[in-house]
Amino acid sequence: MPKPPPPPARGRDREATEQLILAAAKEVLAEEGFANFGVNAIARRACCDKQLIYRYYGGLDGLADAIGADLAATLSEDLKPLSTPAPRTYGELMRRLALGLLDLLRRDRLMQQINAWEAASPSPLVKRLIAARAKRMGMWMFEMRGALQPPVGVDAPAINAIIVAAVQQLVVSAAANGEFSGMPLREDAHWDRLRAAIVALVHGVYAD
């Protein structure tokens, strides 16, 4: 006979189990990547019945949405220190974002995996998580920018896309290979050199 589904949890028990499943799903993604992201692997990591994943999240799609929301909430908290004091120029805003994003990604293994898979295998799941992150970052930029404007004649959206893409690729390459394009990215001194280069690039474009 098929195994009966587990009884429904209530109150704090359900909330605790939901958080346990969510944490397990993030761990599987961060440590094993999207290839092994499945209900069985997550249930094993969470030490729970896989039916609870369907009951609480509706399956992998719902769980992916929950991870996306969690990533957005975490990003919101991580961006708070970058919000004060308010930037005085558009260039200062972008310098703060680029350096802050570099630091955030370096310590977030899950986001490194997501960025790597965004280029290598852009599945619907990856797109869900990327969209959640991009939406939150876009909201932060909108709130922080206020009346600040880039210099006349500068294609800011294109420039900013290049800066963000460069930061993401450098962190992903550092995690995978410890270098990028011949530049070592293993020690603090290497990252200090990179940070100085980012500051120089942003200043050169936005001249603040």
Could you say which residues of the chain have pLDDT below 50? 1, 9
How confident is the model at residue 94, as a pLDDT?
A: 94
How confident is the model at residue 1, as a pLDDT?
A: 46
Say how many domains are in the chain: 2
Residues with Cβ within 8 Å of 137's Cβ and at least 6 positions away in sequence, in order, are 75, 79
Here the CATH number for the domain that contains residue 40 is 1.10.10.60
Structural domain range at position 133 = 68-206
Q: Could you give the CA distance from residue 188 to residue 194 in angstroms, rounded to a whole number?
A: 10
The verdict on residue 148 lying in a domain is: yes
142 phi/psi in degrees, rounded to 5:
-60, -45
Nearest residue to 54 via CA among 39, 66, 70: 39
> Degrees (nearest 5) of the Cα angle 198, 208, 146?
100
The verdict on residue 5 lying in a domain is: no
